[in-house]
Structure 1
Amino acid sequence: MKKTLPVILIIVVLIITASVVIGVKRTKVVDWEESFDEKSNKPYGVSVLYKELPKLFKDYKVRTVYHQPSSYLSANSEDGYGEHVAQGNYIIIGNSDYLEDDSIDELLSFVDAGNTLFLSDYYFPQKLHDTLEVSVKYIDNEKDSISFLSLKHLNIPAITLDRNVSDQYFSDFDSINHSVLGFSKIDYKHPNFLQVPFGDGTIYLHLEPKIFTNYHLLKEDRYQYIEGALSYLPDNNVYFDSYTKIQTGYDGDVEQESNLGWFLEQLSFRWAWFTAIVFGILFMIFNAKRRQRIIKIVKPLQNTTVAFVKTVSNLYFDTKDHKNLIDKKITYFLEKIRRDLNLNTDVLDEQFTEKLATKTGKKLDDIKKLVNYINLMRSKNEFFEENLIKLNRHIEAFYTK
């Protein structure tokens, strides 16, 4: 016992020292994940915009939609069982790839009845592209990752958008019926904001959802651009989409705060917590000394290949080396396509997409989503856990469907 006492004292001192250091200095790391969550105060959340909507649409109801548009709009229709008939502006900021065909049909019916859809994302579901006859391409920002956004018909100066590696623009659309409202370049040759008439209503398609986030809304005079873009919406009720933001484990985790965090911010609770940890460790040490040592069971050697692969992948994941993992997943996937299907994967264009869909017998829309996302990942310089999860989901869907 006398020999173990110094060791125990050293352990207690180390634990107390670590507790003091943690309590005195905390390093806060900025999370640049593009969650577009209306509850998130992080740079790329949209809590500021969400709080300002009641002021922009004064005297009108602002509702948050936590369901698929197909179920929510059908329930709140004239023949539905909801509490009201949905009328007004339906706003979707980012993460629009969750929209299935039935939800797109319901949104188009909603617009056709005289309502408005405002959709801002880097790209849209393929059915929406086909129905509205629009195509989207992107251009890399080779210098300083700076973009320039402007509105065509409003007397608002062009704004800069930093931390933006590429610009999306509408490469093909109906120039007779569709109206260009904004551009993503100073040359006014790359439209990124369209007004599309549909039935008795209007659809607004916008290709830079990042501008609506907290980081840009609170920086310089960029709020003028956001107010101008939303000024095209009629004065009416607002339905703000939040379906994808609550899908934890699907497209990324919703921003959550630990319940223990508040207690650790209180000095007395923090010391009580660390004291309990110290005494718990001491209890385990003394309790272990009073028991007979466990006789080890010698197990035969096993094939640890799978465990090794899991260990390496967990190492990349724990170090947040998302780029490395994404590159490897894309490389291994394309290698399997070349080996199993004898397809050339040097250029992932429409011809490659059609050949892949034909050889695998899978839906062309699903293959387009996968190929478009792989091309998007190849064009990005900055990666987050959400990108890795989305890529993995697309690849798994390719093998399971």
Structure 2
Amino acid sequence: MKGSRWFTIGIVAFLLLMFAVECRLPKKFVWTPTFGHRDKQPFGCHVFDELLASSLPDGYSVSGETLYRLEQEDTVTRRGIMVLAGNLHLSDTDVRALLGMAERGDKVLLAAGSFGRLLKDTLGFESSYSYFNPADFKRYASSLLSRDSLHWVGDSAVYPARTFYFYPQLCSTYFWADSLPMKRLAERTVMADEFVHQTDSVPSDTVYRVPVAMSCPWGKGEIVLVSTPLIFTNYGVLDKDNVTYVFRLLSHIGGVPIIRTEAYMEEAGQVRTSPFRYFLSQKPLRWALYLALASVLLFMIFTARRRQRAIPVIREPENKSLEFMELIGTLYYQKKDHADLVRKKYLYFAEELRREIQVDVEEVADDERSFDRIAQKTGMEVSGISHFIREVRPVIYGAHPISVEQMKRYIDKMNEIISHI
């Protein structure tokens, strides 16, 4: 009992020590984009949301409602709706709700790395696509290589023209359209070999200025399209003074309360469907969950003690092999069937040759090669091996009786060949 108590104390002390060490270890960053409201990793939006909530005078909030649900809300106050996602593929219902809110005066900002075909056809634009690789981004950033430039070309009466510098992985996508009625807010330069809409007649050193942020008036409102969603993350707003570029984009949906919806994030659906989210949001249920976990922990501690039980007596198993061999040997001795004993030994002998040196002595047509192979492997004379096998075959395949001396000679010869392999 005393030893069990010290064992439990040692385990608890070890767990507390490991917990303290784990708390003091530096946190490992996860570079996968999530745009999550509670995600404090580089490409989450915890810092971004906190900054906007404390900076925007008209109010800022994060919601889990879809565009359709937001459009159905009966409100006379105009709002700014913001959607951040890696891939934004809206359904027909969402597109109609988006256009309906813009028609009655709401301002909508859509920032995504790729857009669905339905939204492209409705607004009349095209966009490139580039897969974001966190490993490539970390290597590029740690190498201190040059950044790409984004040029602000919006209304110069409000904001003067200015160039912002981002890592290429954060601003690699862009828009294009020949008859685009939208107003360019920001653009970047790409070479002809990088431009996905180029023709074969264009020289490879041609430089294009392609938009990365555009504004489209729609009804009484406005729709802002941004192809660089990663600049709205924690890393984007903390990257030098590039937060100025973010606020310039947000100014187009400013002047009204802004709502950022998480309904179109890949991880958001998993968080909302978790039952623990509701448990932790209600104080009585939260304490009930804590109490249940504490009860389980106490149960594990008090039932972890070693309970003494009867130790069964395990007898050493008897070796019956020698007795069995004596029985079989007695049967053969009484029957005087020496040829059958040689026959069984020969089967084992042939199988051993097949397995060890790939020789089949039961194949008579291949005797010469087989005898040579056995002689090479054993170092014995070919003639002796040939004479022995041809002598023993009639005993194996026939019914000729043999004496005890012949049986011993045949078996000893087979053992000799096997031992020399």
CA distance in 2 between counterparts of 1:155 and 1:178 reads 20
CA distance in 2 between counterparts of 1:280 and 1:37 reads 36
Query: Residue 31 of structure 2 aligns to a residue in which SS?
Result: coil
Q: 1:253 offset after TM fit, Å?
A: 8.7
Q: 1:65 offset after TM fit, Å?
A: 3.2
Aligned to 1:169: 174
Q: Which residue of the other structure, out of 60, 63, 82, is the alignment partner of 1:62?
A: 60
Aligned to 1:233: 253
User: Is residue 222 of structure 1 aligned with residue 219 of structure 2?
Assistant: no
Q: 1:174 offset after TM fit, Å?
A: 2.9
CA 1:166–1:207 in 2, change beyond 3 Å: closer, same or farther?
Answer: closer
User: Does the 8 Å CA contact 1:40/1:255 hold for their aligned counterparts?
Assistant: no
The correspondence of residues 282-297 of structure 1 with structure 2, limited to 5 A, is: 283-287=303-307, 289-290=308-309
Q: Which residue of the other structure, out of 192, 195, 201, is the alignment partner of 2:215?
A: 195
CA distance in 2 between counterparts of 1:218 and 1:66 reads 25
Taking only aligned residues, the RMSD between alpha carbons, in angstroms, comes to 4.1
User: Letter of the aligned partner of 2:21 in structure 1?
Assistant: V
CA distance in 2 between counterparts of 1:139 and 1:247 reads 23
Query: Residue 114 of structure 1 aligns to a residue in which SS?
Result: coil
Q: 1:102 offset after TM fit, Å?
A: 0.6
User: Is residue 19 of structure 1 aligned with residue 9 of structure 2?
Assistant: no
Query: Residue 230 of structure 2 aligns to a residue in which SS?
Result: helix
CA distance in 1 between counterparts of 2:276 and 2:87 reads 18
Q: 1:123 offset after TM fit, Å?
A: 1.1
CA distance in 2 between counterparts of 1:227 and 1:29 reads 29
TM-score (norm 2): 0.52
Query: Residue 252 of structure 2 aligns to a residue in which SS?
Result: coil
Aligned to 2:184: 180
CA 1:127–1:250 in 2, change beyond 3 Å: closer, same or farther?
Answer: farther
Q: 1:205 offset after TM fit, Å?
A: 0.4
Q: Which residue of the other structure, out of 117, 120, 145, is the alignment partner of 2:111?
A: 120
User: Does the 8 Å CA contact 1:101/1:127 hold for their aligned counterparts?
Assistant: yes
The correspondence of residues 1-400 of structure 1 with structure 2, limited to 5 A, is: 13=10, 16-26=13-23, 27=25, 28-53=27-52, 57-58=56-57, 60-76=58-74, 84-85=75-76, 87-94=78-85, 97=88, 99-138=90-129, 144=140, 146-153=147-154, 154-155=159-160, 157-162=162-167, 164=169, 167-172=172-177, 174-175=179-180, 177-185=181-189, 189-244=209-264, 247-249=268-270, 280-281=300-301, 283-287=303-307, 289-290=308-309
User: Does the 8 Å CA contact 2:83/2:260 hold for their aligned counterparts?
Assistant: yes
Which consecutive unaligned segments of at least 5 residues does structure 1 have?
77-83, 260-272, 294-401
User: Letter of the aligned partner of 2:69 in structure 1?
Assistant: S
Query: Residue 72 of structure 1 aligns to a residue in which SS?
Result: helix
Q: Sequence identity, in percent?
A: 18
CA distance in 2 between counterparts of 1:238 and 1:165 reads 24
Query: Residue 173 of structure 2 aligns to a residue in which SS?
Result: strand
Query: Residue 32 of structure 2 aligns to a residue in which SS?
Result: coil
User: Letter of the aligned partner of 1:200 in structure 2?
Assistant: K
CA distance in 2 between counterparts of 1:56 and 1:283 reads 54
Q: 1:47 offset after TM fit, Å?
A: 2.8
Give per-residue Cα distances to partners, 1:231-255, cap 9 Å, x unaligned.
2335223232132467342899999
CA distance in 2 between counterparts of 1:279 and 1:16 reads 18
Which consecutive unaligned segments of at least 5 residues does structure 2 have?
142-146, 191-206, 281-292, 313-421
User: Letter of the aligned partner of 1:202 in structure 2?
Assistant: E
User: Does the 8 Å CA contact 1:138/1:166 hold for their aligned counterparts?
Assistant: no
User: Does the 8 Å CA contact 1:195/1:204 hold for their aligned counterparts?
Assistant: yes
User: Does the 8 Å CA contact 1:156/1:224 hold for their aligned counterparts?
Assistant: no
CA distance in 1 between counterparts of 2:120 and 2:275 reads 28
> Which is greater in Rg?
2
CA distance in 1 between counterparts of 2:37 and 2:91 reads 22
Query: Residue 164 of structure 1 aligns to a residue in which SS?
Result: helix
